[in-house]
A and B are shown apart, each in its own frame.
Chain A
């Protein structure tokens, strides 16, 4: 039997499955025995019990009397908040760095090169701890807060900036107007195709119409110094600011390299071909170069964005309560480690799959249409 390729394959797999099942059984019986010895029941009932966890800051409102499931949701919201802001900021900075890295100007390309190499070759956790130590060292106490821009103050206690309060009087009408105009442009697209950049105008127009119909009022809430602290505006604590700045610096280095690779991959012949068709420089960029660059950079960018979600767990190094930190205290406080493990697995899987699904949808849109 062992001389026959098929028989050998079955034998090898049989042994492997047997070993794996045996190991699983060992894990299972040990865990059950250990839990019984400590008197911990298995089940998700604990989620509705009051948690008494301390969560130092969150964007959703939280109190120690709230149940475990709410504490976990608050943690997820914090993780989503960090990831979203870091992804947006690092994409913008990375794009700028990636392009300036290719510039013929030695000052611009040299500065970008140093930034990119330092960001890519330093562990993010060291970067975060370093920035956190700087925060306490170089920034003044709150009384002497540095005024960076009108309404933006930075001090040892964190960053304060004006809040924008957008209130919609009639959100339904606004959405209706917005949707109507979008559908309208879609229907008449063939008719308007000749007019360049009409779609951008239509988008702006529908946005303005939507705002007008919704009767929007925009109010700025300026932070005011009251003698002890700032009142009003949005306040970012030193912990949150450190994570946002640190992860943005780190990720932007990787985004820059992806952008640079994407631009370099477009051969010079593409420019020549565009020019021989009589296209202008901006037309070549818009119609020939950028679509091909996007096709190259979207898949690696997606895995970079998933890395951002995973790296947001480093928040623990400066004491910001992200999802993993909340789960860690939940598990140590409630002793429900198995259930906690499954929640961790499920949430990160869901977050990453959502990001991947979005990227795949976008990737399909820009992919080559082969016939």
Chain B
């Protein structure tokens, strides 16, 4: 087939050339779909399945759907999806119960975090400055969300929607990463048995429990365990629970990476007279983390998805604000559309991170 198209390239008449290429393509496609008996069977099964499901879904999604009509009765009359609800309620869906007049603040926070994430994925911005920029940005985020210093103060109990999801994700993973590195090093420590035991108990204890049970402990039982002067508010408690949970999982992934670094590397670093921390920072961790990138990315994606669980302990994340918006009696409560919208936001976050990790993996491979 290849020789055929190669022969055709030399022909002067462009039309017959493209026609031949087209038939070539069709023939190739037909061979792929029906070339072997197994492929033919698969094509029929999957083709029938797709034919039965995709057109009705498409009709519901687009043709029968109400797109922008602000009248709720249009949705009641329509047979398809009610996207105008999402459009009309977008403020409430994205920002929850945040005071209406102050909504520009969480909006700015979302733009800031997403822009900074986008900026951070470029290899050219990976300098020590990046960390300082992030710390400054998070301080700004805290001020914008919480208020004070000239802005109306908003308690964390009124925070809601997308900014909550983004803040929980970024801060929990950002803080959990260094803790995870320390835990992994402690667990592999040969000279400090007490440190190793503490790390093992912490990591295995957290990994043995579902995140929900840890969130319950943090939000419901902690007031019983901690004196009032040490007790942070509900948002911070959930954030700490997420961080500890993530750090235990990240620690195990990083430990796997550390195990892949051969002993000769430690010996070489020692021969150069490097101290423990300089050995780790300059020699061991860069290699260990590079090996662990795929597993690290998987863990981080799980954490992005896990932030959605804070709904169960009464934090106002995307799902809770979706449920609150659905409670409006003026609208016909289009739950499927709302949760599709929320699912799409989470999908965009984790899917783009997965692509970023693919990029890192390829880049790491080339630089060797």
Q: Could you tell me which A residues sit within 8 Å of B by CB distance?
A: 5-6, 9, 12-13, 16-17, 20, 26-27, 30-31, 34-35, 100, 103-108, 111, 117-118, 120-127, 129-130, 133-134, 136-137, 309-311, 313-314, 316-317, 324, 328, 331-332, 337, 341, 344-345, 348-349, 352
* CB within 8 Å of A: which B218-251 residues: 220-221, 224-227
**Given the known A-B contacts A17-B194, A126-B346, are A121 and B33 also in contact in the complex, defined by CB atoms under 8 Å?**
no
A328 touches B192 (CB 8 A): no
A107 touches B213 (CB 8 A): no
A30 touches B226 (CB 8 A): yes
Residue interface mask B191-221, A partner, CB < 8 A = 1: 1111100100000010011111100110011
B354 touches A348 (CB 8 A): no
**Lowest 3 A-B CB distances belong to which pairs?**
A133-B335, A123-B305, A130-B339
Distance between A253 CB and nearest chain B CB, rounded to angstroms = 12
**Given the known A-B contacts A13-B194, A106-B33, A127-B343, are A137 and B336 also in contact in the complex, defined by CB atoms under 8 Å?**
yes
Which of B8-16, B100-108, B114-122, B308-316 makes up part of the contact surface? B308-316
Distance between B340 CB and nearest chain A CB, rounded to angstroms = 7
Q: Is the interface of A mostly helix, strand, loop or mixed?
A: helix
In Å, the complex CA distance between A328 and B212 comes to: 11
B49 touches A111 (CB 8 A): yes
Chain B residue at minimal CB-CB distance from A127: B343
B47 within 8 A of A: yes
A-B contacts, 26 listed (Cβ < 8 Å): A6-B191, A12-B195, A16-B195, A26-B227, A27-B225, A31-B225, A35-B224, A104-B32, A105-B33, A106-B29, A107-B46, A111-B46, A118-B347, A121-B305, A121-B354, A125-B311, A125-B319, A126-B343, A130-B336, A130-B343, A314-B309, A324-B210, A328-B216, A328-B220, A341-B221, A345-B205
Of A16, A34, A106, A310, the residue contacting B194 (CB under 8 A) is A16
A311 touches B319 (CB 8 A): no
Q: Could you tell me which B residues sit within 8 Å of A by CB distance?
A: 29, 32-33, 39, 42-43, 46-47, 49-50, 191-195, 198, 205, 208-213, 216-217, 220-221, 224-227, 301, 305-306, 308-309, 311-312, 319, 335-336, 339-340, 342-343, 346-347, 350-351, 354
Of A16, A107, A127, the residue contacting B42 (CB under 8 A) is A107
Chain B residue at minimal CB-CB distance from A124: B305
Chain A residue at minimal CB-CB distance from B53: A111
Of A17, A123, A316, the residue contacting B306 (CB under 8 A) is A123
**Given the known A-B contacts A106-B32, A111-B50, are A311 and B210 also in contact in the complex, defined by CB atoms under 8 Å?**
yes
- Which residues of chain B have C-beta atoms less than 8 A from A314's C-beta? 212, 309
Chain B residue at minimal CB-CB distance from A250: B305
Q: Is the interface of B mostly helix, strand, loop or mixed?
A: helix
In Å, the complex CA distance between A52 and B301 comes to: 41
In Å, the complex CA distance between A349 and B201 comes to: 13
A337 touches B336 (CB 8 A): no
**Given the known A-B contacts A6-B191, A105-B46, are A344 and B213 also in contact in the complex, defined by CB atoms under 8 Å?**
yes
In Å, the complex CA distance between A316 and B310 comes to: 12
Chain A residue at minimal CB-CB distance from B204: A349
Of B32, B43, B212, B339, the residue contacting A324 (CB under 8 A) is B212
11 new A-B contacts at CB < 8 Å, known A125-B309, A133-B335, A345-B205: A6-B191, A104-B32, A121-B351, A122-B343, A123-B343, A124-B305, A125-B311, A130-B335, A130-B339, A313-B212, A348-B210
A117 touches B351 (CB 8 A): yes
- Which residues of chain B have C-beta atoms less than 8 A from A26's C-beta? 227
- Which residues of chain A have C-beta atoms less than 8 A from B29's C-beta? 106
**Given the known A-B contacts A137-B335, A313-B213, A337-B221, are A107 and B350 also in contact in the complex, defined by CB atoms under 8 Å?**
no
- Which residues of chain B have C-beta atoms less than 8 A from A121's C-beta? 301, 305, 346-347, 350-351, 354
